[in-house]
Amino acid sequence: MSNKLDLTGLSANLSNGGLSLATGTATVTVGAAGLNNVSVKGKFVPPVTAAGGPYALNFVSPADATVALAPTNLAATSGSGASLILAQACIVVHAVNLLGTLVSFQGKIGSVDAAGAVIGAPLAFPSIPDNATPVAYSVVKAIGALVNWGVTNWNTVVVNATAAAPITPVLTAGSANNIATLPTKPLLV
């Protein structure tokens, strides 16, 4: 009996590009090493470099990672680019699409208490289309005020934003850890 692993069409992040939530801004930065070994459907895509950033959150369609969406800045229960109001949280997945563009996807919005603990249904990853590969994810909690994507700084007093990786037990707000693929469920911090 053969135990062959079929890697045909594998989408994976094979880089350690140092993606981080830029301090004092509403942007994402890429470390000096860049994201230069990302495959989408088995094909390496153009690199995302530090020199090209910092990068604004570029929300795209959950159906096609090449179709940009404008942030709505309205309270909503789901959808990429929906702002967060007081006591809401979501997971934002940062990915590279087949064009080599850094893009973002927003998961369904959930509720948090004043301390940032999730209330009710757990936060979950958004759907990621086949033409994008996740490279990191962020847990964003609006503990004190509205979060307007592209306007609200990651590290303001009222926003608790951390980037997470499934193997890191302690995370610092504003730091980011790359992932090769999305884990089965997010590590909430």
Rounded CA-CA distance 175/172 in Å is: 6
Confidence (pTM): 0.80
pLDDT of residue 145: 66
According to the model, what pLDDT value does residue 23 have?
60
Q: What percent of the chain has pLDDT over 90?
A: 4
Going from the C-alpha of 102 to that of each of 2, 30, 86, 96, 106, the distances in angstroms are 38, 10, 28, 5, 14
In sequence order, the β-bridge partners of residue 184 are: none
Confidence class for position 133, pLDDT limits 50, 70, 90: very high
Among 21-30, 38-47, 65-74, which stretch is predicted with the lowest mean pLDDT?
A: 65-74
Q: How far apart are the first and last CA of the chain?
A: 43
| Range 51-65 average pLDDT | 79
Residues 9-21, mean pLDDT to the nearest whole number: 77
Give the Cα-Cα-Cα angle 119, 189, 103 (nearest 5 degrees): 100
Q: In the predicted model, is pLDDT for residue 81 greater than 70?
A: no
Confidence (pLDDT) at 150:
61
Task: Indicate the pLDDT class of residue 181, thresholds 50, 70 and 90.
Answer: confident
Q: Is 48 or 71 the better-scoring residue by pLDDT?
A: 48
